[in-house]
Amino acid sequence: MPNENTATIAAVSTPPGEGAIALVRLSGPEAIAVADQIFRGQQRPSDAAPHFQQLGEIVQDKRIIDQVLLTVHRAPASYTGEDVVEISCHGGVLVTARVWEACLQAGARAARPGEFTERAFLNGKMDLTQAEAVIDLIRAQTDLALRSAAEQLEGRLGEKITGLREALVGLIANIEAYIDFPEDDIEPDVGAAFLARLDAIRLQIDALLATADQGRIFREGVRVVIFGATNAGKSSLLNRLLGFPRAIVSETPGTTRDTIEEVVNLRGIALRLTDTAGFRVTETDAVENEGIARTERSLANADLVLHVVDASAPRPAHFGRRAEEVPDLLLLNKSDLPEHSDWAGSEALRISCTSEDGIAGLEDAILGKISAQRWDVLSAVAINARHRDCLRRALAACDVARDAFTQNLAPELVAVDLRGALQAVGEVVGHADMEKILDALFATFCIGK
Ligand SMILES: Nc1nc2c(ncn2[C@@H]2O[C@H](COP(=O)(O)OP(=O)(O)OP(=O)(O)O)[C@@H](O)[C@H]2O)c(=O)[nH]1
Ligand SMILES: [Mg+2]
């Protein structure tokens, strides 16, 4: 029984359903031998030149299953770093399943989700951030998300992490020199230089941590919550921005009782729009109270709030009640009707969901608000929740190291904390081979005494 991680695996790599072609992929030491058993063409796969396609047939129990194109990639020059065989067959659901089953019968086992990419990582073909980027790339819903994932796949985040690790290793080497020579006190200017380097590292980690919101926004979209009194036209606005009648609109106040969420692509940026139950002050039934509780929860997690009011009606009693910690846009809706005198002189955007007046201006205003945030929507490096966890631990360890150093604690203690930081930073890219890098670096490191 071959080891779990070295077994030859097979999977249908294209999505299920009917298509012109489908791809069945094999990876592992026996991939080419499996292909030899089931493929009949001019050349046996084991004799075929790598990366060239050849036409042939998949045969099982002497019956032809399909005519296919087959490509052999030999280790390590393949996606997974192992021998890989790719079979492009016709895209019928049944045909594809039969080709895949033929692979299994010839000795491969069914691949788990993500197992090809996992092997690429295990074989050093990519770091963990790149493996994660493959998933993001597949799931990207907007151009920006796609670009961010593509840049991560190229290793931009990985490079930044490598830079951080090298800087930390340099610092550790520096401090360990004093462990080896305990009779030497750390001179003040050396100490100041050490702190400056440590602070530079802390700043870099901080800058990466600041991209976490941006990463969430790339992956999930900007959370935009439509809020306001009942009947103000919130659901009408959701429908207008979506371009189709998703939510029920009616003149009865309290129409929307639950939150409704939809994603729109606003010029390349995904907006996760939430329509909420309207706010009213009078005591209402339990369902409506639950709806309002949900509204409050949505508001608590919002990146941007669109506060809709009916401009033809007086200013509602709750108006201005919300604390302003989340950026919001005040929208005077129903601008097609005569405006109530309460709104005279207001600078707020005037829109009409009925006539569509002001909607283009609203889109500009939403994009303006988004670009004014800390998120730099045009810089594509962005971390995910796992990276954030590692980097937070790294930053905390650097802070402890800094305190230990400024309190003149033993250099061993400082080194332990810095190693902790190095370990945590390394986890971002999936490295734990700290000793190896340290050894390599120490080999070239001159104590200079
Ligand atoms: N004249 C005019 N009427 C509008 C406009 N926008 C919405 N309405 C009307 O206002 C009423 C309420 O609209 P909704 O979109 O259901 O309002 P809502 O804020 O979602 O209301 P609740 O879900 O009850 O909180 C409906 O009769 C809409 O047709 C507008 O721009 N102009
Ligand atoms: Mg509504």
Tell me the CA–centroid distance for residue 232 and ligand 2, in Å.
8
Residue 373, helix vs strand vs coil: coil
Pick the residue with more confidence: 141 or 304?
304
Task: Return the residue whose CA atom lies nearest to atom 13 of ligand 1.
Answer: 233
Q: Is 230 in the pocket of ligand 1 (CB under 6 A)?
A: yes
In the chain, what are the domain boundaries? Answer: 9-125, 143-211+383-444, 219-372
Q: Is 251 in the pocket of ligand 1 (CB under 6 A)?
A: yes
Pick the residue with more confidence: 61 or 183?
61
pTM higher than 0.85: no
Tell me the CA–centroid distance for residue 335 and ligand 1, in Å.
12
The stretch 4-19 carries a mean pLDDT of 81
Tell me the CA–centroid distance for residue 247 and ligand 1, in Å.
11
Q: Is 254 in the pocket of ligand 1 (CB under 6 A)?
A: yes
Strands 328-333 and 260-266: unpaired
3.90.75.20, 1.10.533.10, 3.40.30.10, 3.30.1360.120: CATH of 9-125: 3.30.1360.120
User: Which ligand 1 atom is the nearest neighbour of the CA of 257?
Assistant: 23
Position 447 confidence tier, pLDDT thresholds 50, 70, 90? very low
The pLDDT, as a whole number, for residue 437 is 39
| Closest to 404 in 3D by CA, of 414, 390, 415 | 414
Residue 93, helix vs strand vs coil: helix
Name beta bridge partners: 110.
10
Note the pLDDT tens digit of each residue in 30-73. Answer: 999 999 999 999 999 999 999 999 999 999 988 999 999 999 99
Residue type, 33: A
| Closest to 198 in 3D by CA, of 208, 187, 190, 209 | 190
Strands 53-60 and 21-27: unpaired
Tell me the CA–centroid distance for residue 317 and ligand 2, in Å.
19
Q: Is 101 in the pocket of ligand 1 (CB under 6 A)?
A: no
* Class at the top of the CATH hierarchy for domain 219-372: alpha beta
Tell me the CA–centroid distance for residue 311 and ligand 1, in Å.
11
- Inform me whether the pLDDT recorded for 432 exceeds 60: no
Choose which residue among 353, 357, 359 to substitute to test ligand 1 binding: the one with the highest number of ligand atoms within 8 A of its C-beta.
353
Residue 95, helix vs strand vs coil: helix
Q: Is 306 in the pocket of ligand 1 (CB under 6 A)?
A: no
One fold for both 9-125 and 143-211+383-444?
no
Position 442 confidence tier, pLDDT thresholds 50, 70, 90? very low
Position 408 confidence tier, pLDDT thresholds 50, 70, 90? confident
Superfamily of domain 143-211+383-444: tRNA modification GTPase MnmE domain 2 (1.20.120.430)
The stretch 398-417 carries a mean pLDDT of 92
The pLDDT, as a whole number, for residue 448 is 25
Tell me the CA–centroid distance for residue 337 and ligand 1, in Å.
12
Strand order of the β-sheet with 21-27 is 39-41, 53-60, 63-73, 84-90, 21-27, 9-12, 109-110
Note the pLDDT tens digit of each residue in 194-218. Answer: 999 999 999 999 988 887 777 777 7
The pLDDT, as a whole number, for residue 203 is 93
User: Which ligand 1 atom is the nearest neighbour of the CA of 238?
Assistant: 15
Note the pLDDT tens digit of each residue in 72-100. Answer: 999 999 999 999 999 999 988 888 889 99
